[in-house]
Amino acid sequence: MFPIRDDAPRFTTPYVNYFLLAINTVVFVMTWLSGPANFQRIVEIFGFRPAVVVGFLHGVHGLDPVTAFLPLLTSMFLHGGWIHLIFNMWFLYIFGDNVEDYLGHFRYLLFYLGVGLAGSLLQILLNPNSTVPNVGASGAIAGIMGAYFMLYPSARVLTLVPFLFVFFIWLPAWVLLGYWFLGQFLSGAASSINYASNQGGGIAFWAHVGGFLSGLGLIKLFPTRPRRYRYFYR
């Protein structure tokens, strides 16, 4: 299922969400235009590797905190391909504006980075020996979706559903996002089985799960922005 648009109102301009959409797109285009060899090198340098983080924490010689931890941040602004970028940016566009409206601009940026880091930490915890560089804003965007799930569960989302033939239907946000989370969790469990069998895949599903759960848990801990008019879906 793929979201097309939602009907949750907002009362402010989502400047930070627009900035995140722009910076992710610009970074990807610049890395893509650098050529395949440079693109791969950028991913290897600025994508985070769970084994490197774990190795530093265990005191492995030759690892420093910048090499170990800076990629946890930089990886959130890299993407592996056009499809990866487009899907991530579309979900951010659909759900991010309302969460920014609720939190305010600066708090929204902190929240976005925080849930992105939380998603990466769960990926490290469950795949600590992986040396594959992880890139993408998916964990952070999953956190935004978790926050949206908490704040606007009854908002309606126009959804494209490909089942035998393609049709469009308005679904409650909790149905669409709950279905998405269940798919990520089951895929993560399957990837862990494949990882244990040395058949690991290339999608960091646990980062999605960790981001979504952190979004669920943290959104109510962040103070909402003061404003004159408020409207919440319940």
In which band, very low, low, confident or very high, does the pLDDT at 200 lie, cut at 50, 70 and 90? very low
Mean pLDDT of 53-80: 88
Report how many domains make up the chain: 1
Report the pLDDT value the prediction gives residue 193, as an integer from 0 to 100.
66
Backbone angles phi, psi at 220, to 5 degrees: -80, -10
| Domain span holding position 93 | 2-218
Report the pLDDT value the prediction gives residue 201, as an integer from 0 to 100.
47
- Identify the top-confidence range among 10-14, 88-92, 190-194: 88-92
pTM value? 0.88
Contact status, residue 49 vs residue 134, Cβ threshold 8 Å = yes
Is 228 among the domain residues?
no
> What percent of the chain lies above the pLDDT cut of 70?
91
Read out DSSP for 25-38?
HHHHHHHHHT-HHH
Is 234 among the domain residues?
no
Average pLDDT over the chain reads 88
CATH number, position 110 = 1.20.1540.10
The closest alpha carbon to 6, from 76, 78, 135, 99, belongs to: 99
Is 230 among the domain residues?
no
| Dist. CA 197–CA 137, nearest whole Å | 27
- Summarised one tens digit per residue, pLDDT across range 85-99 is 999 999 999 999 999
- Strands (E) in 136-228, as ranges, are 156-163, 165-172
Report the pLDDT value the prediction gives residue 195, as an integer from 0 to 100.
56
Report the pLDDT value the prediction gives residue 178, as an integer from 0 to 100.
94
Handedness of CA 87, 91, 97, 102 (dihedral sign): negative
Q: Is the pLDDT of residue 62 over 50?
A: yes
Is 229 among the domain residues?
no
Q: Is the pLDDT of residue 82 over 50?
A: yes
Q: Which residue has the tokens 């530093």?
A: 56
| Three-state secondary structure call for residue 157 | strand
Is 147 among the domain residues?
yes
Mean pLDDT of 123-150: 92
Contact status, residue 119 vs residue 213, Cβ threshold 8 Å = no
Is 178 among the domain residues?
yes
Is 103 among the domain residues?
yes
How many other β-carbons are positioned within 10 Å of the β-carbon of residue 125?
12
Is 225 among the domain residues?
no
In which band, very low, low, confident or very high, does the pLDDT at 203 lie, cut at 50, 70 and 90? confident
| Dist. CA 211–CA 80, nearest whole Å | 19
